[in-house]
Each structure stands twice: as structure tokens, then as C-alpha cells.
Amino acid sequence: MAPEDRLEIWVSRAGWTLAVVVALAAPLSMNGYHLYQATQVLIYMIALIGLNLLTGYNGQISLGHGAFFAIGGYGAAILSSRFGLPFWAAIPLASSVCFVAGFLFGFPALKLGGLYLALATFALAVAAPQILSYKGFDAWTGGAQGLQIVKLQAPAWTHLDPDQWIFVVALAAAALLVWVALNLVRGRIGRALVAIRDHGLAAETMGVDAALYKTTAFGVSALYAGVAGGLSAFAVGFVSPESFGLALSLAFLVGVVVGGLASVGGAIFGALFIEFVPNYADRLSMQFGESAKALPGAIYGLLLIAIMGIAPAGVAGLARALVRRASRLSL
């Protein structure tokens, strides 16, 4: 093993350890709104890892992951408010529904190369809020008003307040899903996904069942989005059609690109970015008036283009390059 590879592994381990330490310290040191934001970051991170499995590793562009996030959110909300299911049953059930939905959407996606898939998923993202507020589903979805659900209450023995508890739950889910994703991409499956992305025909010639991998990747990716959506429903205590629009789907894409395509750890940076940049701009707009509202859009846009031009592998890619350079200097 080359020394820079060894260094890279150590840096990556150190990074993950640091992330875990920070995450464990968060519920103790933060309060109310900040903790809520931290929970949001974890939730986005899960969704971004899912989208990255599909787009970054497998090369299938989805501009519509907000729709799967919505299925997870609404699914969890309906299961919990109408059927009284606890969160630990509602979220996995709702995300299984997402897996099936994603898997099924993966079949038409097989026939749609690159751009056409982007088009179809774009349409999905635009149509999702309308479908969610459709009157025929009012009895289930609460129509345009959305659906209120009871926030999670921590079990008595933990002595945690609801904000802390949902953070702990999200952290556990994120840890599990990061572990799963790392194992997926570092093994046979990951190599197959990347091979299909880089040269589908060559991958098939080598005996990779491209159709199966691609549809399953879509399903797993949707499952991640579904878990994130379900957690978000419990964290916010509310789901409504407007919160699952095109903006959310595009924010996911932004997060994946900023964090770094084909990188699991990059999702942390992507999630921090899409949680805090709009927030920061909102605060600025209080000082500078209405026009500062344009800030996140402008930053999103410029960064997307700049990253594609300068550092197509995002923050994760930059970090990797830095580590490599450092290891070469020290030798």
C-alpha cells in the first residue's frame, strides 16, 4: 500500500472519529434551535448519501429525489398519525415503500440515458407537490394543509427532551446508513456501480447485471431519501406539500455536488452547506432587506458552476488532494 493511501485512510478515519465526537457532544452542548439544525444536517446527510449512491457512484442523474423524501415523510406521518405506529416501525415501513417506489422508477430509468433521466426526474420533482395536495388523497394526506404529527417523546429512562431525542435517533440512523453505504461502495457492489457509470457496455461484458444493479441502486437511493424524509417528519412534527418541491430536489443535487460526487464522507459538507447557507442568507436579508433573499440562489448557482469547473469532486475531492500533497511533502 502506498504511503499516501495509508495517510488518506488515517485522515479519513480521523475525520469520521471527529464527526462522531462532535455529533455525540452536540445534544449536551446545544439547545433548542441549534440542536434542531444539527438534526436537519444529519437528515440531509442521509438523503445526500442516498442520492450520491445513485448519481455519484452509478451515474444516474436524479433531479427528483425530493419526491422520495416526500414519500418517506408522508408515509411516516400517515403511519404514525392514522395507525398509531411508533417511529421505529413507521420510518422503516415508509422507507421500504420508498425502496419499492424507487426500484419501480428504476425500470423506466433503465431506458432513459443521462439527460432523459434528468428530464423525467425533473418532471417528477415539479409534479410532486401537486400530487401530494390532490383532493382525492385528502383523507390520507390532509391536502394542501398537510399533516400534523406528534413529535417524538423520549423514553423516560433517557431523561432527554424531545429535541435531544430526535437528534439521537437521527444520529443512530445516520451512523447505520453511513456504515451500510461505506460497505456497499468499498466492495464488489461499489465497483460494479462505478463500472456501470463509466462504461455500461464494458461492465455488462464483464458479467455485471447492469439492469439489476441500476434498478436496485435506484431503490436503495430512494430508501435513504425515505429514511431522511421520515426522520424529518418526526423532527418538524408536520408535513406539507410545499416543503417537498423542486427547490428541495435541487438542494439535494447541490449538496451532493458541493460535498463531492462519489464520496460518502462528503455528504457531511454537503449537508452543512444546504442547511446553513440559506439560513445565513435569511439572517443577512434582515439587515440588507428583501434583495438579500437572492443570495442563496446566487451562491448555489455560482458554486455549482465553479465546482464543476475547478473541483468536480467537491469538498471531498479537495480534501483528498490536500492529503495526497501533504503526504508527498513529508516523504
Partner 1 sequence: MVQLLHQLSSGLALGGVYAIMALALVMIYQATQLINFAQGEMAMFSTYLAWKMIDSGVSYWRAFAATVVISFFGGLLIERVVVRPFAKAPVLASVIVFIGLSFIFNALAGYFFGYSVQSFDSPFPGRPLFGVGYISAHELGTIFVSVVVLALVYAFFRFTSVGLAMRAAAQNPVSARLVGVRVGWMLAIGWGLAASIGAVAGMMAAPIVYLDPNMMGGVLLYAFAGAVLGGIDNPWGAAFGGFLVGVAENLMGAYVVGEEVKLSVALAIIVGVLVARPSGLFGRRIVARV
Total residues contacting partner 1 (rule CB under 8 A)?
47
The residue within the footprint of partner 1, chosen from 50, 59, 73, 265 (CB under 8 A), is 59
Grid coordinates belonging to 144: 394542501
With respect to partner 1, which residue has the nearer C-beta, 133 or 232? 133
With respect to partner 1, which residue has the nearer C-beta, 9 or 308? 308
Q: Which amino acid is at 93?
A: L
With respect to partner 1, which residue has the nearer C-beta, 62 or 327? 62
> Is 326 a binder of partner 1 (CB under 8 A)?
no
SS (H, E, C) 43-82: HHHHHHHHHHHHHHHCCCCCCCHHHHHHHHHHHHHHHHHH
> Is 131 a binder of partner 1 (CB under 8 A)?
yes
Q: What is the C-alpha separation between 46 and 37, in angstroms, rounded?
A: 14
With respect to partner 1, which residue has the nearer C-beta, 56 or 92? 56
The DSSP element (H or E) to which 145 belongs, if any, is none
The answer to whether the CB of 77 falls within 8 A of the CB of 149 is yes
Grid coordinates belonging to 272: 452543512
- Shortest CB 246 distance to partner 1, Å: 7
The residue range among 127-135, 215-223, 224-232, 321-329 that interacts with partner 1, by the rule CB under 8 A, is 127-135
CA 307-310-313 angle, to 5 degrees, is 60
With respect to partner 1, which residue has the nearer C-beta, 122 or 280? 122
Residues between 292 and 321 with contacts to partner 1, criterion CB under 8 A: 293-298, 300-305, 308-309, 312
With respect to partner 1, which residue has the nearer C-beta, 76 or 120? 120
Query: What is the secondary structure of 231-297 as a DSSP string?
Result: HHHHHHTEE-GGGGSHHHHHHHHHHHHHH-TT-STHHHHHHHHHHHHHHHHHHHHHHH-GGGGHHHH
Residue 147 three-state SS? strand
CA 94, 95, 98, 103 dihedral sign is negative
With respect to partner 1, which residue has the nearer C-beta, 110 or 180? 110
Q: What is the C-alpha separation between 59 and 174, in angstroms, rounded?
A: 23
The residue within the footprint of partner 1, chosen from 19, 100, 126, 318 (CB under 8 A), is 126
Residues between 79 and 98 with contacts to partner 1, criterion CB under 8 A: none
Grid coordinates belonging to 252: 439535494
> Is 124 a binder of partner 1 (CB under 8 A)?
yes
Residues between 209 and 268 with contacts to partner 1, criterion CB under 8 A: 246, 250, 253-254, 257, 261
With respect to partner 1, which residue has the nearer C-beta, 231 or 277? 277
The residue within the footprint of partner 1, chosen from 201, 286, 329, 331 (CB under 8 A), is 201
Grid coordinates belonging to 141: 394526506
The residue within the footprint of partner 1, chosen from 28, 32, 33, 135 (CB under 8 A), is 135
Contacting positions for partner 1 (CB under 8 A)? 55, 59, 61, 63, 108, 111-112, 114-116, 118-120, 122-124, 126-127, 130-131, 133-135, 201, 246, 250, 253-254, 257, 261, 290-291, 293-298, 300-305, 308-309, 312
